[in-house]
């Protein structure tokens, strides 16, 4: 069984994907970490995020076993990932790896931006998580403040809006719900309620 979970930055899709995978006994891949790893490695080599050939060469070296590096989760790396994610050759280099992961038994949950549309168009269940931008910004702001980061709500909202715009307007595999995706708006749901709703949607879809 393959479950695709897509959605914008700070929508909570990563947490939801991990919990859904645990519930159904499936493997889980946060595909954003692949793009984050490309950005991290390009910058570590002193390269430019706009250099298509270099970013693609780096993308071909990404090892999914090395995605636990906590620095990948830093906000600046997410921003840089969104820049390299516009490069088609980078997307192509990461495609087989994601599809191989999806093919494992008994199945997998992948979360990202283009899982339902491009990576796994035949996924058994596709969920597109939405939440209003100010709600996502508020959640991210609280999380960063608790970690002691010097952030303002307006600053976080601005970064989220710019990332949404960049991820949904790129030419190759823009962020959008697949035609057969189920939309789940979590603007008024906490993580428990979002998890219950997602499990309910999945069970209905697979006829359990
Ligand atoms: O989900 P995230 O914030 O970790 O993703 C970081 C960036 O990676 C995101 O802004 C765009 C890119 N990305 C993508 O283009 N396609 C995916 N399937 C996942 C992430």
The pTM is what?
A: 0.96
| Range in 73-77, 149-153, 172-176, 196-200 with the lowest mean pLDDT | 73-77
Q: How confident is the model at residue 177 (pLDDT cuts 50, 70, 90)?
A: very high
Give the residue whose CA is nearest to atom 10 of ligand 1: 82
Confidence check: pLDDT of 181 > 80: yes
What distance in Å separates the CA atoms of residue 86 and residue 53, rounded to the nearest whole number?
A: 13
Average pLDDT, the chain: 96
What's the pLDDT score for residue 66?
A: 85
Give the mean model confidence (pLDDT) for residues 148-164.
95
Q: Which strand (E) or helix (H) includes residue 110?
A: strand 108-112
Give the ligand 1 atom nearest the CA of 13: 1
Give the residue whose CA is nearest to atom 16 of ligand 1: 113
Residue 35: CB within 6 Å of ligand 1?
yes
Within 8 A by CB and 6+ apart from 130, the residues are 7, 8, 11, 183, 184, 185, 186, 187
Give the ligand 1 atom nearest the CA of 85: 15
Residue 95 lies in a domain: yes
What's the pLDDT score for residue 98?
A: 97
Residue 31: CB within 6 Å of ligand 1?
yes
Residue 208 lies in a domain: no
Count up the domains in the chain and report the number: 1
What distance in Å separates the CA atoms of residue 32 and residue 17, rounded to the nearest whole number?
A: 12
How many H-runs (helices) and E-runs (strands) does the chain carry? Answer: 8, 5
Q: How confident is the model at residue 134 (pLDDT cuts 50, 70, 90)?
A: very high
Residue matched to tokens 């909202």 = 157
Residue 60 lies in a domain: yes
Per 3-state DSSP, what percentage of the chain is helix, strand, and coil (rounded to 5)?
Answer: 55, 10, 30
Looking up residue 77, the CATH number of its domain turns out to be 3.40.50.300
Confidence check: pLDDT of 201 > 80: yes
Residue 108 lies in a domain: yes
Query: Nearest CA to 6 among 124, 112, 133?
Result: 112
Percent over 90 (pLDDT), the chain: 94
Residue 186: CB within 6 Å of ligand 1?
no
What's the pLDDT score for residue 65?
A: 84
Q: Which domain holds residue 189?
A: 2-203
B/e letters for 39-61, b = 16+ CB within 10 Å, e = fewer, are: bbbbbeeeeebeeeebbbbbbee
């Amino acid at each position: 069984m393959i479950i695709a979970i897509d959605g914008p930055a700070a929508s909570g899709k990563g947490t939801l994907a991990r919990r859904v995978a645990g519930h159904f006994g499936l493997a889980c891949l946060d595909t954003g970490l692949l793009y984050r790893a490309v950005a991290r490695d390009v910058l570590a080599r002193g390269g430019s995020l706009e250099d298509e050939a270099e970013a693609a060469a780096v993308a071909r070296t990404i090892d999914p076993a090395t995605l636990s590096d906590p620095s990948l989760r830093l906000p600046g790396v997410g921003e840089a990932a969104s820049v390299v994610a516009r490069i088609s050759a980078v997307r192509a280099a990461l495609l087989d790896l994601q599809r191989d992961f999806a093919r494992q038994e008994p199945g997998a949950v992948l979360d990202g931006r283009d899982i339902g549309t491009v990576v796994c168009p035949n996924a058994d269940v596709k969920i597109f998580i939405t939440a209003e931008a100010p709600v996502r910004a508020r959640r991210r702001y609280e999380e960063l403040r608790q970690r002691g980061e010097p952030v303002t709500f307006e600053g976080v909202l601005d970064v989220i809006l710019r990332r949404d715009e960049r991820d949904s307007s790129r030419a190759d595999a823009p962020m959008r719900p697949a035609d057969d995706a189920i939309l789940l708006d979590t603007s008024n749901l906490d993580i428990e309620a979002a998890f219950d709703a997602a499990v309910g949607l999945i069970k209905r879809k697979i006829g359990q």
